[in-house]
Chain A
């Protein structure tokens, strides 16, 4: 999270500088903020790290806890639907495809996700198990989303975006909180937390959360068998030391049962594959400690360590993984024009994989990988209050591809207090994941056109290399009037070495009743994506707010001439070309509030999903200071629709049904 801030240089309005200040304008803007928004404004003049995102030279978007509450979303991926330019498609009750700027899939691998600075993408496939990383929404302070490459600061895999989930400080909302919701899909959502203070310096929070969610209906009208439940608990302590020293220690443990209808090899005769309900057990825990302090007026530093353990036990495979992260950074003003940020990090992960059948197998069961990295970035003030040049690079060494360099340069121009222009040129790589080097798995979705008796198997390969991105971005952000602001970003991304599966000679194993057609993973494809993302925020009256966004995305994948990948340029059809979102929020007074959100998502040809419109509605009432009640309907005008289908996945895509639930939030 801090690094996100580090990325930023601010819109330089200059309250203190009479030359640039426009106090009347600022007053007008302040007059239009509500209490929640006022509470978000940071007023520290010393801390450079606690800068807000609005003046960032990047496509940054923040979902506040208030936005999440009023959206009616019940999970992190559902809340991410609100972010312009991010594509969220629910595959089944517990499985999502989430990406930014293209290449969506159940195993989408170009997005980095952090919870309080702890990276939660799995080295298994470089993606996120959204079902594992479910954080109770009431614990979240905000979700910061950067679209576009963040590799210069965050390193490999921050290719198309970074999602930062930040939990509330334990000093927030002292006392007990009990939140319970119940509906047709979200059968039970319960979180109980207690925040207390040992002293002014030491505060803590403990929570426990349980949910039980129903499955969806499969497209052929059967039960999707994708219900799931999870029990989790955790704590967070915040300690303020002398001066600006701050210590954060937090941890969580969880256990979950996750079911999915999957297409796997179950029989010795044609068609070999059939639908099978996989009962997956998940358990794990994590602990994070972070210390930050100021060394002098010009310098501050931060140290963070985290450990996470996870166990996945499914009918396909079992994985036990232990990951340790250490991260340090120092920022310092070299002179009055140059601010330097420097960091060193280490990440070690040890896994133990076990195949549970012939659908999926690993070439080696145990593996440990180390990642060493360093980054340096300088923020140079070219013209005071007007023009900044930010340049830096990440240098890292990983066990799959060795040394990787990911440089980036950004320019920020703020002609006056109301307008921000930025541009960026950056390189990012996606390093291979565990499966891409060591897995063999049968894909029913790609076995259709093969001769009888043959099954398509994806073969991981030791020579599989990093995917490369060169990204060009530009953006404009403006507070056009106190009640109206706009944010526009455009980008062209040029990828090389994208993943392909190259058909090799059939493999005949006498012990198996089928012929394996191997698709050996290789980097024989290039691609280009381009797009525009626009967001508008209009609040004409205290009690009325309208937010809308539009995004356009063009994807052009061109496999090399000698590529024999049967999926060809299938990735072209997995992302909506157009997405539109419109959100109306009304406060009726006496604690009554209502929200209506419309999403339009364009068709996904490769996933066989037609375009759809989805409406979510929420009506809430703050009965008293202690009690809030709400009723939410998702998919208001639709019995159900399919949002995705991943041809390379086992998980059956289900109809995403209309969901409704009621909830109360009681503080005592």
Chain B
């Protein structure tokens, strides 16, 4: 149990190392970069975890290999981290797709664009399919997205909007919803 916490510890440690390195070198920018990277890793692990708690309609989403696709749409902010996590996980049938622009069949789409326009376009693109969209963008849920990451007390948390999900045949488990910081419904 304490050992379970060894895990967060290591991560926090990494951030700490980043912080020390940055301070030592007086490079504030590096600190930001490092923080960003570890935050991304945790977010990637969240994405991988979300798959367990979401059910998609069989008909529309069935791929020839029955795999679940997690798409990174826009800037690939995760590098290889999401691929590594998926590879390391015990679960079969999860695939990572890196897409510069909204396209393809995605079960879970992490949308990362600098411009709000492009982000909204991506939400719109996936809104007609049972794709669960995820982003860090502040107004993401208001714009029609489904899951938004944010940090609170230095921890990654998420809010969920269930608007329109049932119409698209997507169900998010009550367990996952119970862990969300906020759940917005129609």
- Partner-B contacts on A (CB < 8 A): 10-17, 23-24, 26-48, 50-55, 60-64, 67, 82, 84, 169, 171, 174, 297-298, 333, 336, 381, 385, 417, 477, 479, 482, 485-487, 535-537, 539, 541-542, 545, 547, 583, 591, 622-626, 628, 667
Contact = CB atoms under 8 A, between A and B. Distances in A.
A409 to B, nearest CB: 21
11 contacts: A15-B38, A24-B88, A27-B87, A33-B7, A43-B39, A43-B151, A174-B182, A479-B3, A485-B7, A535-B1, A622-B174
B163 interface: no
Contact of B42 (A41, A63, A583): A41
Contact of A10 (B12, B175, B179): B12
Interface string B120-145: 00000000000000000000000000
B15 to A, nearest CB: 4
A37 B13 contact: no
A71 to B, nearest CB: 10
Nearest to A585: B1
Contacts of A61: 1-2
Leading 9 A-B pairs by shortest Cβ distance: A54-B9, A27-B84, A10-B13, A485-B3, A28-B88, A537-B3, A44-B154, A45-B35, A336-B24
Given A16-B37, A42-B11, A50 B179 contact: no
Contacts of B99: none
A23 B84 contact: yes
Given A16-B14, A61-B1, 8 more contacts: A10-B13, A15-B37, A37-B4, A37-B7, A38-B49, A39-B179, A43-B42, A47-B154
A39 B182 CA distance: 14
Nearest to A169: B153
B38 A43 contact: yes
Interface string B51-68: 011000000000000000
A30 B18 contact: no
Contact of A39 (B13, B33, B34, B155): B155
Nearest to B50: A35
Given A34-B49, A41-B12, A624-B174, A15 B18 contact: yes
Contact of B88 (A36, A84, A477, A482): A482
Contacts, number: 251
A50 B79 CA distance: 27
A55 B10 contact: yes
B154 A37 contact: no
Nearest to A479: B6
B124 to A, nearest CB: 27
B183 interface: yes
Contact of B10 (A26, A64, A539, A583): A26
B7 A13 contact: no
Contacts of B21: 16-17
Contact of B154 (A50, A625, A628): A50
A62 B2 contact: yes
B31 interface: yes
Nearest to A333: B23
A17 B157 contact: no
B85 A591 contact: no
A241 to B, nearest CB: 15
Contact of B17 (A15, A36, A54): A15
A622 B179 CA distance: 12
Nearest to B52: A542
Nearest to B10: A13
